[in-house]
Amino acid sequence: MQRITILGATGSIGVSTLDVLARHPERYSVYALSAHSRVDELAAQCERFRPARAVVGSAAAAARLSALLQAKGLRTEVEYGEQALCAVASAAEVDAVMAAIVGAAGLAPTLAAARAGKKVLLANKEALVMSGQLFMDAVRDSGAVLLPIDSEHNAIFQCLPHGYGRAPEAAGVAKVLLTASGGPFLTRAVDTLDAVTPEQACKHPNWVMGRKISVDSATMMNKGLEVIEAHWLFGAPADLIEVVIHPQSVIHSMVSYVDGSVLAQLGNPDMRTPIAHALAWPERIASGVAQLDLTQMGGLQFERPDFVRFPCLALAFDALRAGGTAPALLNAANEVAVQAFLDQRIGFRQIDRVIAQVMDSVPHGAASSIAAVMAQDATARAAAETYIGSHAK
Task: State yes or no: 210 annotated in a binding site.
Answer: yes
By the 8 A CB rule, do 13 and 106 touch?
Answer: no
Q: Does the annotation flag 217 for ligand binding?
A: yes
**Three-state DSSP class for residue 67:** helix
The verdict on whether residue 93 carries a ligand-binding annotation is no
Contacts 24+ apart (CB under 8 A), 137-142: 138/111, 138/114, 139/114, 141/115, 142/114, 142/115, 142/116, 142/117
CA atoms within 13 A on the CB side of 237: 5
Beta-strand relationship, 262-266 and 251-257:
antiparallel
| Residue 212 counted as an annotated binding residue | no
Task: Find out whether 393 is annotated in a ligand binding site.
Answer: no
| Residue of 8, 76, 77 lying closest to 38 (CA atoms) | 8
Contacts 24+ apart (CB under 8 A), 375-380: 376/325, 376/328, 376/329, 376/332, 377/104, 377/130, 377/328, 377/329, 377/331, 377/332, 378/332, 379/329, 380/328, 380/329, 380/332, 380/333, 380/336
222 annotated as ligand-binding = yes
334 assigned to a ligand binding site? no
**Residue 223 is labelled as binding a ligand:** yes
Q: Is 369 annotated as a binding residue?
A: no
Are residues 354 and 346 in contact, defined by beta-carbon separation less than 8 angstroms? yes
* φ, ψ of residue 178 in degrees (nearest 5): -90, 120
Q: What are phi and psi of 242, to 5 degrees?
A: -130, 140
261 is in an annotated binding site: no
Q: Is 12 assigned a ligand-binding role in the annotation?
A: yes
Give the chain's length.
393
41 is in an annotated binding site: no
| Residue 349 three-state SS | coil
Q: How many CB atoms lie within 10 A of CB 258?
A: 12
Dihedral sign from CA coordinates of 259, 136, 211, 17: positive
Residue type, 146: L
Q: Is 24 annotated as a binding residue?
A: no
Please, what is the end-to-end C-alpha distance for the chain in angstroms? Answer: 54
The annotation places the binding site for Mn(2+) at 150, 152, 226
Q: Mark the binding-site residues for 1-deoxy-D-xylulose 5-phosphate, compressed into ranges.
A: 125, 151-152, 181, 204, 217, 222-223, 226
Binding residues for NADPH: 10-13, 124, 126, 210
Binding-site entries: 10-13, 124-126, 150-152, 181, 204, 210, 217, 222-223, 226
